[in-house]
């Protein structure tokens, strides 16, 4: 299955598109920073683009 076919199956079956987010952390980040970002990112789960 090609990547394009995979994306098509996801969109047809679930009505969702695939994507990725990459974050980088360095020495100045601590657990609180990562946790705060995680909570922010979780707020977007199951949201539609119009609602964001």
Per-residue pLDDT of the chain (52 residues; tens, 9 = 90+): 887 887 788 787 767 676 777 888 888 889 999 999 999 988 888 777 666 5
Other residues' Cβ atoms within 10 Å of the Cβ of residue 10? 13
The greatest distance separating any two alpha carbons of the chain, rounded to the nearest whole angstrom, comes to: 42
Domain assignment of residue 15, yes or no = no
Considering the entire predicted model, what is its pTM?
0.50
Domain assignment of residue 11, yes or no = no
Q: Total structural domains in the chain?
A: 1
Domain assignment of residue 50, yes or no = yes
Distance CA 18, CA 49 (A): 13
CA distances from 34 to 19, 22, 42 (A): 20, 13, 12
What range does the domain containing 28 cover? 23-52
Domain assignment of residue 38, yes or no = yes
Domain assignment of residue 42, yes or no = yes
CA dihedral 2, 46, 33, 31 (to 10 degrees): -80
State residue 7's pLDDT score: 78
């Amino acid at each position: 299955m090609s990547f394009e076919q995979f994306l098509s199956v996801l969109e047809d079956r679930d009505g969702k598109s695939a994507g990725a987010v990459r974050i980088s952390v360095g020495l100045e980040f601590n657990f609180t920073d990562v946790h705060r970002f995680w909570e922010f990112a979780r707020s977007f789960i199951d949201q539609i683009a119009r609602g964001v």
